[in-house]
A and B are shown apart, each in its own frame.
Chain A
Amino acid sequence: GAGVSQSPRYKVAKRGQDVALRCDPISGHVSLFWYQQALGQGPEFLTYFQNEAQLDKSGLPSDRFFAERPEGSVSTLKIQRTQQEDSAVYLCASSPHAGGGETQYFGPGTRLLVL
C-alpha cells in the first residue's frame, strides 16, 4: 500500500526565499508530525496535527516556520525567508492513532539546502 509521500524530495533555495514542503500521509491517518533532521543527527520534533488541529507547535524553531493541514489530510510546512541554518532533511510522519506518538510511519523526507 502507499506510504507517506513527500515532495519535493530535494529543494535548493537561495537565502531569503520562501519554501513550501508537502506531505501526503497514509490515507485515514489521524496524526501527522513534522520533524527536522540535521546531518548526522536524529530527527527533532517540529509540530503535530490531529486531523486539522495543530495541537503542538513547540518544536518550530522560529516564527518563520509555519505548518498547516486544512482538511486533515495533506500538510504543508512553509519556511519564510530561509536561512542557511534551515538546511536539513524535513521528515513527515503519520500515525493512525490520535494523541500522537506510538508507531509513526515516516516519509522519505525533503532535503532542503539553503545557499
Chain B
Amino acid sequence: GESVGLHLPTLSVQEGDNSIINCAYSNSASDYFIWYKQESGKGPQFIIDIRSNMDKRQGQRVTVLLNKTVKHLSLQIAATQPGDSAVYFCAEKNSGYALNFGKGTSLLVTP
C-alpha cells in the first residue's frame, strides 16, 4: 500500500549546525503534511505543517520544504540545540481521518 517513509533512521549533528531531516511519501493524494517531534517517554509534539498548495513554510528555527514532483518533504532545523535531540516523524493526511506516520529519524545533537 502507499506509505510514508524516511531516508535516514539516525542523524548526528553538532550543536549550532543546521539539521536536515528528509521524508519521502508515495500517496500523491496527500494534501497535508506535518512534522512531529517525540522525546523519550512523551507523545509526539507538533512542530510545523504544510499544505500541498505550498512548497515552503517557516517557523521559529524550523523550515519545511515540500517537493510534490518527487514526493519529498524535508525539515530544516537552524542552529540545532541539545534540546532538539529527539525522534522526528513526518506524517501525511489525505481524504481519510487519520494521520499516516513514517518510521521516524532519531536526531542526536552533540556538544
Please pick, from B41, B43, B104, the residue contacting A107 in the complex, using a CB distance under 8 A. B43
Check if A48 is an interface residue, CB within 8 A of chain B.
Answer: yes
Contacts A41-B103, A100-B98, A102-B32 hold; do A108 and B44 have CB atoms under 8 A apart?
no
A3 to B96, CA, bound (A): 24
The answer to whether A4 has its CB under 8 Å from any CB of chain B is yes
Q: How far is the CB of A77 from chain B (nearest CB, A)?
A: 15
Q: Which residues of B contact A59 (CB under 8 A)?
A: 98
Check A43 against B101 for contact (C-beta < 8 Å).
Answer: yes
Per the bound structure, the CA–CA distance linking A84 and B67 in Å amounts to 40
Across the interface, do B43 and A109 meet the contact criterion of CB distance under 8 Å? Answer: yes
Chain B: how many interface residues by the 8 Å CB criterion? Answer: 23
Interface residues of A in 28-54 (CB under 8 A from B): 31, 33, 40-45, 48
CB B30 to nearest CB in A, in angstroms, measures 11
A66 to chain B: which residues have CB within 8 Å? none
Q: How many A-B residue pairs have CB under 8 A?
A: 64
A59 to B96 CA separation, bound complex (whole angstroms): 12
* Interchain CB contact under 8 A, B44 and A91: yes
Number of interface residues of A (CB under 8 A): 26
User: Do the beta carbons of A33 and B98 come within 8 Å of each other?
Assistant: yes
Kindly state whether residue B61 has any CB partner on chain A within 8 Å. Answer: no
A interface list, Cβ under 8 A from B: 4, 31, 33, 40-45, 48, 55-56, 59, 91, 93, 99-109
Residue from the list B49, B97, B101 in contact with A42, Cβ < 8 A:
B101
A42 near B89: Cβ-Cβ < 8 Å: yes
Determine which of A4, A33, A41 lies in contact with B104 in the assembled complex, contact meaning CB atoms within 8 Å.
Answer: A41
Cross-chain contact B96 with A56 (CB below 8 angstroms): yes
Do B42 and A108 touch (CB < 8 A)?
yes
Would you give 29 A-B contacts (Cβ < 8 Å), ordered by A? A4-B43, A33-B98, A40-B103, A42-B89, A42-B102, A42-B104, A43-B44, A43-B99, A43-B101, A44-B101, A45-B97, A48-B98, A56-B96, A56-B97, A91-B43, A99-B97, A101-B32, A101-B96, A101-B97, A102-B32, A103-B34, A105-B46, A106-B36, A106-B43, A106-B44, A106-B45, A108-B41, A108-B42, A109-B42
